Amino acid sequence: MSEATDTRTPDTRPTGGLSAQYQPGEVEQRRYEKWVSEGYFEADASSDKPPFTIVIPPPNVTGSLHMGHAFEHTLMDSLSRRRRMQGYEALWLPGMDHAGIATQNVVERQLAAQGLSRHDLGREKFIERVWQWKAESGGAILGQMKRLGDSVAWSRERFTMDEGLSRAVQTIFKRLYEDDLIYRANRIINWCPRCLTALSDIEVEHSDDDGELVSIRYGEGDNAIVVATTRAETMLGDTAVAVHPDDERYKHLIGTEVELPLTGRRIPIVADEHVDPSFGTGAVKVTPAHDPNDFEIGQRHNLPSITMMDERAVVTVPGPFEGLDRYEARPAVVAALREDGRIVAEKRPYVHSVGHCARCKTTVEPRLSLQWFVNTKPLAQAAGDAVRDGRVAIEPAELAKRYFAWVDNMHDWCISRQLWWGHRIPIWYGPDGEVVCVGPDEEPPTGEGWHQDEDVLDTWFSSGLWPFSTLGWPEKTVDLAKFYPTSVLVTGYDILFFWVARMMMFGLYAMDGKQPFDVVALHGMVRDQHGKKMSKSFGNVVDPLDWIERFGADATRFTLARGANPGSDVPVSEEWCQGSRNFCNKLWNATRFAMMNGATVTGDLPPASELSTIDKWILSRLQHVTAEVDEHFENYEFAKVCDALYHFAWDDVCDWYVELSKPVFAAGDAETAKTQRVLGHVLDQLLRLLHPVIPFVTEELWIALTGGETVMRATWPVADQAWIDDAAEEELAALQKVVTEVRRFRSDQGLKPSQRVSAALTGLGNVGIDTHEPLIRSLARLNAPGEDFTATATLAVTGAITVDLDTRGTIDVAAERARLEKDRAAAEKEAAQCRAKLGNEAFVGKAPEQVVTKIKDRLTTAETDLARIAAALKALPTS
């Protein structure tokens, strides 16, 4: 195995200028600025390297880096950095979303503080004010991404309202319009009475709220029918009562009319198969203008639609309730019905799912409104086919079912928003009813009576174009030719439907059937250490910038990546981040040790035939880990990547190889130079493997160790089967077993690490490690048995090896027995508690998977402790 960097001159200083301790704050900004200034993150479309492309899920221009961003960006950055090292032309393209509702709300709040509204400024001046805000205060998250270490191509940063993306929006709108895939119609949509705009499904958050279920009797006597509702005020807009056609209770009423209470209007009783006869009374009130299901019933039965509330959720029906807000009208209507003897039953509180505006938290109203829609059926069919025929893979594969459930049953998409900030719909209306769609290279019609549609497009419309609009579409750019389709989309499973599906639809449509990405790698949500959703109301929100400040960006990234299993939620805790910081410190100290002892990367590795078993062992372990890491990266199993590297670095390299090499370095003989070269190589390769996840500390250490320019441009390690040595691994495993068992015994007996004990080792030759006896004695602090040696304790390490120890004078047997008994009682209590929880089917069925797994791990630990304590008690001297 030869080095590609043989000509590098190693730093002649003992530690390459490394400080005694790793201080992230002294490294991160300096290294990041160097990376950017040297153009390491940029991508060249004219390169002949194979492309690798990730487009960032554009954060809102109003946003700040939260733990979900930090998690997702860590994964994208890890993939991008690895591909660069593998020789790909890697482009990670950054940008932001204009976030129509959120941004307009921010600026309107600023105006309100001055006693103004957007209408005081007018549309043009208001838009200027928003752009001013964006220039002065927007995009704070971009600087925060730099603190995390994002290796994005900053020169290519895009914004969904920039000139190029605006051109793309106009282009695709016109094409869809001319292909009859965009239309305008009166339909039920989600409406926010506070923001005064239609909302997409993703902009509606549902929660279980306390309400009231009221059962109301319509009609009299045998012709009476009872309906139940949580929104009694909407009865003012009822235009029918619906029952199932096969419901024997109501067959005699189908086709008749019933008087609607409080209004004097008569409404029909219709039969509709979509009514569930087993739910409630089996009869439902039909308010087509204020409920999506009722709207569909109304369409099937040609029912009129009565809008009984205006855009601010104020009742407009003439009469005693006119002018009341919906929350004022609700109790007033119920009181009037009660007085009229129409209330059959009232259930309070009644918990039910209620939609809220994601921006202002106002309860959303379903509302019949004239809006623009995308006819999604043919587009969704293509989006489903792209996954079915293998052009796009969803990872993990089991989540593809959820994707199909959505795209195969997709409703038409409401794309118009009653805002001023956003892409204005490119439709002009003429004085005689003319409708003209204007493309980006066309002049809009002028003259008296012509005006543009007042609405703007849903933010998700422009972000749906992101994979190709950011590369220059609709122009046929070299970037588009090189980097589209993109390689992988890394995003949360929570927006699989709302964003991923839209990008699929638009990408396939605009790019002649070419998918927008080859793989959709779905991840879960970041949760607290107990598996609970992070929420300000729960008081468990973690600010990643706080962790970066206290523990470093690498520790934050490693904590997040180490919990990243495809499609699964990610529990995190400060304690785990502290552990990740300790891991970075461990790497730092190991590299300093190596450099102080002459570790080098210069020249070829000595041939295996000239290496010690210990050197052959660590090189063999390196090959296994390299192959394992590659496999896990290809499967997007970041947690397994981190776990493999953590244990190799901490256990194999730091705890064993470094310790095993100390006598070699101390000897200063011919073997020393070989071990110096092997240790240098192992650390060189390890730092490369770790770089994608923890880039800052690995950059600092690798440059100090190798004298190279940057680890970012070092070749990615590839496993070499020629260095696999099963015999060396078996031999070292036997050595480790002996040392570990003796160390465990010493710890259990309360012996100080420096305290030496006389011992007789039997059977080492049976497993071929008798030549390592001096090393074993050094590592386990064991003296050779003297003339007065008496075995007071015996350890059966394996069937072939025993260790007899003389513990006289080293242990207070009574005190040690008491301590072990106390530990056993604690372990038994812990095991009993864990078994009780795992035996509770209700708990196991409802608890998050991570919580159940953690309890299983606790039980395993407790049972292991019990076995260890029992062995320790047995090994205690009898006198």
Residue 732, phi then psi, degrees to nearest 5? -70, -30
Give the helix/strand (H/E) hosting 875: helix 849-875
- Mind giving me the DSSP string for 699-720? HHHHHHHH--S-GGGSPPP---
- Measuring CA to CA, which residue among 733, 535, 575, 723 is closest to residue 652? 733
Residue 822 neighbours by CB under 8 Å, 6+ apart: none
The owner of tokens 């591909």 is: 83
Task: Read off the tokens for 538.
Answer: 């729960």
Give the Cα separation of 879 and 863 in Å (integer).
28
Give the Cα separation of 604 and 5 in Å (integer).
10
The residue count for the chain: 879
Give the Cα separation of 47 and 41 in Å (integer).
14
Task: Read off the tokens for 91.
Answer: 């482009």
151 burial via Cβ count (<10 Å: 0-12, 13-18, 19+): buried
Give the Cα separation of 331 and 309 in Å (integer).
16
Q: Are 377 and 210 in contact (CB under 8 A)?
A: no
Q: Are 199 and 189 in contact (CB under 8 A)?
A: yes
Q: Are 545 and 144 in contact (CB under 8 A)?
A: yes
Q: Are 618 and 652 in contact (CB under 8 A)?
A: yes
Find how far residue 769's CA is from the centre of its chain.
Answer: 47
Q: Is 536 annotated as a binding residue?
A: yes
Beta bridge partner(s), residue 571: 527
Whether the ω angle into residue 349 lies within 30 degrees of 0, i.e. cis, is yes
819 burial via Cβ count (<10 Å: 0-12, 13-18, 19+): middle
655 burial via Cβ count (<10 Å: 0-12, 13-18, 19+): middle
The owner of tokens 């838009």 is: 127
- Measuring CA to CA, which residue among 147, 152, 166, 178 is closest to residue 92? 152
Between the alpha carbon of residue 614 and those of residues 546, 717, 790, the distances in Å are: 42, 21, 33
How many Cβ atoms are within 10 Å of 153's Cβ, its own excluded? 17
Give the Cα separation of 227 and 217 in Å (integer).
7
Beta bridge partner(s), residue 451: 429
Whether the ω angle into residue 774 lies within 30 degrees of 0, i.e. cis, is no
Q: Are 485 and 515 in contact (CB under 8 A)?
A: yes
Task: Read off the tokens for 331.
Answer: 């109790």
Find how far residue 480's CA is from the centre of its chain.
Answer: 27
Residue 438, phi then psi, degrees to nearest 5? -110, 125
Pairing of strands 451-452, 158-159: unpaired
Give the Cα separation of 766 and 112 in Å (integer).
85
Residue 492 neighbours by CB under 8 Å, 6+ apart: 68, 72, 522, 523, 524, 525
Task: Read off the tokens for 872.
Answer: 């320790």
Amino acid, single-letter form, for residue 652? D
The owner of tokens 């009984």 is: 308
Find how far residue 876's CA is from the centre of its chain.
Answer: 51
Q: Are 830 and 862 in contact (CB under 8 A)?
A: yes
- Measuring CA to CA, which residue among 799, 797, 864, 853 is closest to residue 828? 864
For the annotated binding site for ATP, the residues are 536
Binding residues: 536
